Chains A and B, each alone.
Chain A
Amino acid sequence: MDDKKTKIRTFLARFSRNHQISDDADIFASGTVHSLVALQLISFIEKEFEIVVADEDLEPENFRSINNIVAFIERKAAALLRPPVMA
């Protein structure tokens, strides 16, 4: 988990003029993330953590803070590992 946090923090630091971003800080409210960064954040999460962010994942809570992003990535990764439910 710490490794994920570090990667996300390092990525976001490029857009926050290297100001320290705490793990529970609201990255949208702080202005770190605008639409161009939001797009890059999605690409980064998908490429770095090998998940796909789908339309149903577009919830503010999933991306609000470093902690929330990590929790989201872990939920997605766990869902990938779960066997499909047979009808």
Chain B
Amino acid sequence: MQVEFSSQQRQQRERFRSFVQEHICPCAADWDRQEAISSEIIEQLRSHGYLGCLVSGIRGEPVDAITYGLLTEEIARGCSSVRSLLTVQDMVALGICRWGSSELKDEFGAAIGNGELLCGLAISEPETGSDASNVKTEARREGDEYVLCGRKKWITFGQIADLLLVLARFEDKPTAFLVPRTAPGFTRRPLKGLLGVKASMLAEIEFNGCRIPRRYLVGKPGFGYSHVIATTLDLGRYSVAWGAVGIIQACLDSCLEYTAKRKQFGVEIQEHQLIRRKLTEMIAAVRAARLLCCRAGYLRDRKDPAAVPETLVAKYFASKAAVRSASDAVQLHGANGLSDEFPVSRYLRDAKVTEIIEGSTQIQQITIPQCPLPEL
């Protein structure tokens, strides 16, 4: 067993790191305060080929699962809201690439793959969260169209998404559809005041007799949740797991810098044993979480069915470790950690979100024992 990144993966990681350092780190706190990312960063992500890259590659170069994970980690190290833009774009891209008709792929594939069209994933509703297969939004057929009625809530980048992959019920069966923001009967309103990932421009979306062409069905009726959405959520968990690794790394970087400078009782606080203990736990956490993500990525690249449960474990562990590490990071920063002059309070708020999205920690605790894992 060999556990190391290829030289190409290392080079890519350096490129991602430079990009994040230049375009994301200096702005992340402002985006968090403004509850929106800038159009400039979206354009930068597009021009670097990062939006939708899992399916389309980066500037024509295919992206393996580990490289995609490294991109996600680096971006989350800078800003979890930008990470969530990448996550949702790739979730929808994969859903269409995997289960869309050739007609749909021809119509939307290129524009999603290069980020020209921004995507949203509309699953959650005011009354439906974890129990996603029981959404209330309904679809009915009228001639050559589907007509959707219902409301979706907590839709990441729903404020600016051009195209949404929507889970609805058609003839009482979970079914997936593509809905452009220009479809008649489509309205949205911004959601503000979230705890974390505040700049991910959430929206509530209403389909009020929203009409879409018949060809915008994704997959077949009855397979919308079990296959189309399940495929997207599997990738979402993978991406969020790597994102959680990025948060832990950001916590560790901040703490190493802060504890080397900050003096109390006449010495840098990193000289105190209890501070070192927290640093040690963070170092172990980020390495363990990254290795679990790598294992899941390795299986994904081999198209191994076990990638699904390995991803569950990676997401479960990494998100919990991110919350613990971010909480410790705030603690190590003392009063400064409570202020938005330092990034660690943002890391803590963003980390908490990773324990709730794409399957809460409690849902993972129910599902992981149901999915046997291969022997290590």
A residues lining the B interface (CB < 8 Å)? 11, 14-15, 34-44, 46-47, 55-56, 58-60
Central interface residue in A40, A42, A43, A55, by most chain B CB within 10 Å: A55
Q: Which of B140-148, B222-230, B241-249, B314-322 contacts A (4 or more CB under 8 A)?
A: B222-230
Query: Which residue of chain A has the shortest Cβ distance to B105 in the bound complex?
Result: A55
Please indicate the chain A residues that have their CB under 8 angstroms from the CB of B100 in the complex: 55
Known contacts A35-B230, A36-B367, A55 near B305 by CB under 8 Å: no
Q: What are the nearest 8 A-B pairs in CB distance?
A: A40-B305, A43-B305, A58-B220, A35-B230, A58-B223, A35-B226, A14-B372, A44-B305
Known contacts A35-B225, A36-B230, A15 near B370 by CB under 8 Å: yes
Interface check B254, CB cutoff 8 A = no
Query: Which residue of chain A has the shortest Cβ distance to B101 in the bound complex?
Result: A55
Interface CB pairs A-B, < 8 A, 21: A15-B370, A35-B133, A36-B309, A36-B371, A38-B226, A38-B230, A39-B227, A39-B230, A39-B305, A40-B309, A42-B227, A43-B303, A43-B304, A43-B305, A43-B308, A44-B305, A47-B305, A55-B99, A55-B101, A55-B219, A58-B219
Please report the number of residue pairs spanning A and B whose Cβ atoms sit closer than 8 angstroms.
61
Q: With A and B bound together, what is the CA distance between A60 and B226 in angstroms?
A: 11
Contact of A59 among B220, B231, B306 (CB under 8 A): B220
Query: Which residue of chain B has the shortest Cβ distance to A47 in the bound complex?
Result: B303
Please indicate the chain B residues that have their CB under 8 angstroms from the CB of A36 in the complex: 230, 308-309, 312, 367, 370-371
Interface check B234, CB cutoff 8 A = yes
Do residues A58 and B227 form an inter-chain contact, with CB atoms below 8 A? yes
Q: With A and B bound together, what is the CA distance between A37 and B371 in angstroms?
A: 8
Please indicate the chain A residues that have their CB under 8 angstroms from the CB of B227 in the complex: 35, 38-39, 42, 58
Contact of B222 among A39, A44, A47, A60 (CB under 8 A): A60
Interface check B65, CB cutoff 8 A = no
- Closest chain-A Cβ to B271's Cβ sits at a distance in Å of 48
- Closest chain-A Cβ to B365's Cβ sits at a distance in Å of 14
- Closest chain-B Cβ to A64's Cβ sits at a distance in Å of 12
Please indicate the chain B residues that have their CB under 8 angstroms from the CB of A55 in the complex: 99-101, 218-220
Q: A35-B226, A42-B227, A58-B99 are in contact. List 13 more A-B contacts (CB 8 A).
A: A15-B371, A35-B230, A38-B230, A39-B227, A39-B230, A39-B231, A39-B308, A43-B305, A43-B307, A44-B305, A55-B99, A58-B223, A60-B222
Please indicate the chain A residues that have their CB under 8 angstroms from the CB of B99 in the complex: 55, 58
- Closest chain-B Cβ to A13's Cβ sits at a distance in Å of 10
The B316-343 residues at the A interface (CB cut-off 8 A) are none
Q: With A and B bound together, what is the CA distance between A56 and B219 in angstroms?
A: 7
Please indicate the chain B residues that have their CB under 8 angstroms from the CB of A34 in the complex: 226, 370
Do residues B230 and A46 form an inter-chain contact, with CB atoms below 8 A? no
Query: Which residue of chain B has the shortest Cβ distance to A40 in the bound complex?
Result: B305
Q: With A and B bound together, what is the CA distance between A41 and B371 in angstroms?
A: 12
Please indicate the chain A residues that have their CB under 8 angstroms from the CB of B304 in the complex: 43, 47
Please indicate the chain B residues that have their CB under 8 angstroms from the CB of A46 in the complex: 303
Contact of B305 among A41, A56, A58, A60 (CB under 8 A): A41
Please indicate the chain A residues that have their CB under 8 angstroms from the CB of B372 in the complex: 14-15
Please indicate the chain A residues that have their CB under 8 angstroms from the CB of B133 in the complex: 35
Query: Which residue of chain A has the shortest Cβ distance to B100 in the bound complex?
Result: A55
- Closest chain-A Cβ to B52's Cβ sits at a distance in Å of 19
Central interface residue in A11, A40, A41, A56, by most chain B CB within 10 Å: A40
- Closest chain-A Cβ to B91's Cβ sits at a distance in Å of 14
